[in-house]
Amino acid sequence: MKQHFFIAGTDAGVGKTYVLASLLRSLHEEGVKAVGFKPVACGDRAEARMMREAIGEPTLSLESINPVYLRTSTDPQMAASLERKEIDVDTLYASWATLAEQYDVVLTEGCYGWLTPLAPGVTMADLAKKLNLPVLLVADNRKGAAGQVALTAAAIAQSGLTCAGIILNHPGEEWDTAAVTNADLIERTTGLPVLASLIHGDEVATEVLTR
């Protein structure tokens, strides 16, 4: 398998890193040379560390996985402004390209939502367009998810990219009515496949990357 993906979320805290790390573990178990890429992190590097741990390469530098680290826990554009730094899409692309030369699968995680500001006039969508990868969209499987998925999927299409499918992540330990019915509603209203519906502790099978 040699295919890279961009993993986007409908919002912050929906489980993008959880899904990405689970996919990395599954790929690693199958003998696929895969790595995660977190182009921009704000507040801490816990997500980059989780990606590195998932593939069992403790010597891999955090800088290669996460080239832009901002200590301020807020949106990237504001964090960069407060720290007097600049986020450049071309530089992020170059870091991704280096990993893509070394690994068969690079899973890139967006920061917060699809249109998260990176710099004046530049959003996370601009980086996704530069990478030109199929998009996996992660959403919190709760009440209101269908509307959030529809909005984000429309924005992805407007960016000229393909949304390969939706992964619903339910962090709780029990399904509620929304969690049970969202997948069907989302498929009927967006025409996109729901590739997985996860509940607390579930792992993601690599088949979601080939469907």
85 is catalytic: no
Q: DSSP code of 172? A: S
Among the listed residues 159, 170, 126, 163, the one whose alpha carbon sits nearest the alpha carbon of residue 7: 163
The CA radius of gyration of the chain, in Å to the nearest whole number, is 16
Alpha carbon distance 210, 9 (integer Å): 20
**CA angle, residues 188, 4, 190, in degrees to nearest 5:** 10
Contacts of 31 (CB under 8 A, 6+ apart): none
From 2, 16, 33, 38, the catalytic residue: 38
Contacts of 48 (CB under 8 A, 6+ apart): 36, 38, 41, 62, 65, 66, 69
The catalytic residue positions are: 38
